[in-house]
Amino acid sequence: MLPRFTRLLPSALVARSARVALVALVALATVPPLLAAQGTAADSAARAARADSARRVAAVRVTITRTDAQADVAPWAVGVVTTSQLRDGRATLGVDEALSSVPGVVVSNRYNYSVDQRISIRGAGARANFGMRGVKVLLDGVPQSLPDGQSQLTNIDLGDIARVEVLRGSASSLYGNGSGGVIAFTTDLSASDPFATTLRTTAGSFGLRKWQSRTSGRTGNMVGSLSMSRTTVDGARQYSNADLRQLMAATDWSLANGVTLALRAAIAETPVALNPGALTAAEYAKNRDSAAAINVARGASRAISQNQFSLRASHDDPAGRSWAATAYVVRRFVDNPLATTPAGTSVATVGTYSTINRWVTGVRLDASQPLGAGPAAPRLAAGLDAQQSTDIRRNSRATGGHPSVATDTVLLFQDEIVTAIGPFAQLTWEPVRRVHLDAGARWDQLRFEARDHFLGDKVDNSGARSMTAATGHLGVSWSLAAVFSPYANWSSAFETPTTTELNARPDGAGGFNPDLGPQRVRTVELGARGRAGLASYTFSVFESYADDAIIQYLATDGRSFFRNAGRTRHRGVELGLQWQIASWLSATGGWTEADYRFVRYIIPRGTAADTLNGKYEAGVPARVIRVGVDARLAGATVSVDNTWSDAQFADDKNTQRVDGTGPGVLNVRVSGSGGVGTVRWSPFAGVNNATNRAYVGAVTINGASGRVLEPAPLRNYYLGVELGWRAAR
């Protein structure tokens, strides 16, 4: 497929891509002279320090590729977000704060804690109207994704995260089902010797209150941390208040035999998260801060209780051999009053009350072995992922969000069991100097089983379905020069329907939809990365095809239904830039061009049909540009970023066009630091949407009756302070 890259992009996108490439080339040609012009004796020491910093950044290592490799030789599009980018001056409320600077990643913030933010990586996950799908999420190597491909961020608190790695592209050969992209979070285990504690408090618009305490320490071969936080918010819209509570405990212990044990425990509670729903264009024009009346009448909301525990043992020996074994268990309870109307009911206050009682258990085994001596020798890695989830799902008729034993009835009561097993192998090799090869293969088998306990309809909808897939990847990178290191890869992925999608049947019956199957994806990518002086860049162009794409074709009163929709094609261009302009001034930029369309999609409509071939996929803007500047002056840091987002469609027929952000959404942050002795303080403040722009933060795809708009808040503020204390050495 590689020779076809000259024909990948339509003419308009080619023109835009050429402009992007031209900007990059001009920047690369301009940076060295500009840096040379700064070469005075007065700042030579500062320049040397910055150059040393740039070299360290270039040598950063990543583990998201399931190899301990340098990011600048990986034949993938990989991004890394550091601690300062996650926390400095930020409110640490959502992943949009962490991932907005990574090209190819679009986070649609619904500002609705009941349904989570929507994360899209090259279009994967963009069609999720609830939770996350199509993107694999890891926390310290432990999946936050279920075997059916659903992911959740319940245990992610950015205030306790030290690092985020993002892999853009099809990665099922590495992580299995639903790996259209991968996001790996790493807990902050930095600890003063022997003890330190911090307290961070934040207050802001719309009743925002967040506090977080973090205690860390080190003794001998053991390091640990304990983080607790609580966030409450009244919400930018009516009927959108939420209460989130999180506790994270982490310990790493190095044993005498070279084995390291990593123990993690996470407890999260969301006693209330109200769901204001999406608005129609008329409702948005009249009062963009309002909630959908039907959601209020039916008490749409969500309450969550989740516990997660994991233990990982790992070992690396001097000969280059390594192994790791991880076991984990998750317990999750969800109470979810929905605005969905039970069949045969039209009463305004009558909806559906859904509960889930979930167990998840899993193991991950990894081992690697060099096949020869020397750093250029091939390395073989192999492993196994095994996971099982059991959901006890119960849906009842409810009035005002509360079921009544006396008058309301059970609509669905079933166990949903998903078992997944996936062995894999991966080979990395440097056959000649500066050329790096990476190849991998994986086989996955998933079994979906439904056990129907509700026989009031006189039908037993119990049954099982099995889905299998073989996936692979092949990549090559060439460290040609510091300024230009190209790479190429081919990869495949698959994505099964989630249990929520499978049990969403228009006829209201239990069991799983027998007509909904997995989608299969193939991706080819060309890219390059490099450095010129104190500037660096990444550039990639890709094409991805999905056969039997899983499409949400209907939304009725908050309930979505799905079908396999022929074929989709994703084409895109991504550019990322970083520049340390001076010792006190740095800049970043990200540019994403997206052309995501249906190649073949025909919707039966009685005796007729709607042909949507060539239509744009909903929920993804065609262009996103972000520019950020950080200035460090007199002990304070001022950060400014502006994000431009193009228009998008809210429906597959492309009849509902939602405007972009116009001149952009401007955010400003200020932070500082100081201290006396063992006490430190770091005040911070921020203004989001500083220009008070009215824009739509996310869309509900194919929402019934035009109910598709999820507004973002107007100008809003926050301020806070972090106080820290450490034991004197």
Percent of the chain with pLDDT over 70: 89
Mean pLDDT of 184-203: 91
Q: Which of 20, 142, 86 is nearest to 538 (CA)?
A: 20
Q: Which of these ranges, 106-120, 254-268, 393-407, 628-642, has the smallest mean pLDDT?
A: 393-407
* 80-94, 154-168, 341-355: least confident range: 341-355
Higher pLDDT, 502 or 370: 370
Tell me the mean pLDDT in the region 496-521: 77
Q: Distance between CA atoms of 343 and 556, rounded to whole angstroms? A: 11
CA distances from 183 to 88, 460, 463, 591 (A): 21, 40, 33, 19
Domain regions of the chain by residue span: 2-726
Q: Determine whether 256 is exposed, middle or buried from the number of CB atoms within 10 Å of its CB (0-12, 13-18, 19+).
A: exposed
- What integer pLDDT is reported at residue 28 of this predicted model? 36
Give the pLDDT band (50/70/90) at residue 510.
Answer: low
Question: pLDDT band at residue 724, thresholds of 50, 70 and 90?
Answer: very high
Q: What pLDDT does residue 505 have?
A: 66
Q: What is the pLDDT of residue 202?
A: 98
- Which CATH number fits the domain 2-726, given the four candidates 2.40.170.20, 1.10.340.30, 3.40.50.12140, 3.40.50.1370? 2.40.170.20
Residue 363 has pLDDT above 60, yes or no: yes
Taking residue 10's Cβ as centre, other Cβ atoms within 10 Å add up to 12
Helix, strand or coil, per DSSP, at residue 700: coil
pLDDT score for 729: 65
Q: Which amino acid is at 270?
A: T
Buried b (16+ CB within 10 A) or exposed e, 93-118: bbbbbbbbbbbbbbbbbbbbbbbbbb
pLDDT in tens, 664-697: 999 999 999 999 988 999 999 999 999 999 999 9
Q: What is the pLDDT of residue 401?
A: 86
Question: Is pLDDT at 551 greater than 70 in this prediction?
Answer: yes
- CA-CA distance, 135 to 170, in Å (whole number)? 10
Cβ(440)–Cβ(472) under 8 Å?
Answer: yes
More confident residue, 615 or 408: 615
Q: Which long-range contacts (CB under 8 A, 24 or more apart) does 282-288 make?
A: 283/709, 284/696, 284/709, 284/711, 288/694, 288/711
Report the range of poorest mean pLDDT among 27-41, 136-150, 291-305, 573-587. Answer: 27-41
Quickly tell me which residue has 């497929």 as its tokens: 1
Q: What is the pLDDT of residue 405?
A: 67
Radius of gyration of the chain measured on its C-alpha atoms: 25
pLDDT interval class at 606 (50, 70, 90):
confident
Amino acid 194: pLDDT = 87
- The closest alpha carbon to 417, from 355, 456, 360, 375, belongs to 360
CB atoms within 10 A of CB 84: 12
Q: Which amino acid is at 680?
A: R
Longest dimension (CA), the chain: 87
Say how far apart CA 289 and CA 299 lie, in whole Å. 18
Q: Is the pLDDT of residue 370 over 90?
A: yes
Tens-digit pLDDT profile for residues 37-81: 334 433 444 444 444 444 434 457 788 888 777 778 889 999 999
Taking the C-alpha atoms of residue 24 and residue 13, their distance in angstroms, rounded to an integer, is: 16
In this structure, of 172-181, 237-246, 549-558, the range with the lowest mean pLDDT score is 549-558
Lowest mean pLDDT among 313-322, 468-477, 707-716: 313-322
Tell if the pTM clears 0.95, that is, is over it.
no
pLDDT, mean of residues 328-355:
89
> Quick check: 495 pLDDT over 60?
yes
| Region of poorest pLDDT, from 186-190, 242-246, 310-314, 588-592 | 186-190
Q: Which residues pair with 274 in a beta bridge?
A: 301
Split at pLDDT 50, 70, 90, the class of 574 is very high
pLDDT score of 8? 41
pLDDT given at position 509: 60
- Which tokens sit at 553? 């074709």
Instruction: Name the burial class of residue 313, with classes exposed (0-12), middle (13-18) and buried (19+) by CB atoms within 10 angstroms of its CB.
Output: middle
Give the mean model confidence (pLDDT) for residues 610-625.
93
- Nearest CA to 339 out of 360, 322, 354 is that of 354
Separation between Cα atoms, residue 579 and residue 424, nearest integer Å? 39
Peptide bond into 194 cis (omega under 30): yes
Q: What is the mean pLDDT of residues 214-228?
A: 94
- Return the C-alpha torsion angle 396, 399, 401, 405, nearest 10: -50
Q: Which residues are bridge partners to 473 per DSSP?
A: 440, 491
pLDDT of residue 504: 62
Per the model's pLDDT, the better-predicted residue between 128 and 204 turns out to be: 204
Question: Residue 605: its pLDDT value, please?
Answer: 73
- Side-chain-side CA neighbours of 581 within 13 Å: the count stands at 12
SS3 of 77, please? strand
Please give the Cα distance from 592 to 181 (Å, whole number): 16
Percent of the residues in the chain that have a pLDDT greater than 90, as a whole number: 68
Length of the chain: 729
Of 416-420, 514-518, 560-564, 589-593, give the lowest mean pLDDT range.
560-564
- Which of 270-274, 316-320, 501-505, 528-532 comes out lowest in average pLDDT? 501-505
pLDDT at residue 699 is higher than 90: yes
Burial of residue 203, with CB atoms counted within 10 A of its CB: 0-12 exposed, 13-18 middle, 19 or more buried: middle
Other Cβ atoms within 10 Å of 33 Cβ, number: 9
pLDDT band at 257 (very low <50, low <70, confident <90, very high): confident
The pairing of strands 136-139 and 181-187 is: parallel
pLDDT of residue 26: 39
pLDDT confidence of residue 39:
42
* d(C-alpha 245, C-alpha 334), whole Å: 15
481 near 529, Cβ under 8 Å? no
Handedness of CA 44, 45, 46, 52 (dihedral sign): positive
Strand partners, 481: 484
Give the dihedral of Cα atoms 28, 30, 32, 37; nearest 10 deg. -160
Q: Give pLDDT tens digits for 1-17.
A: 333 433 444 444 444 44
Structure tokens that stand for 99 in this block: 């991932």
473 vs 13, higher pLDDT = 473
Highest mean pLDDT: which range of 13-22, 29-38, 230-239, 450-459: 230-239
The pLDDT of residue 19 is above 70: no
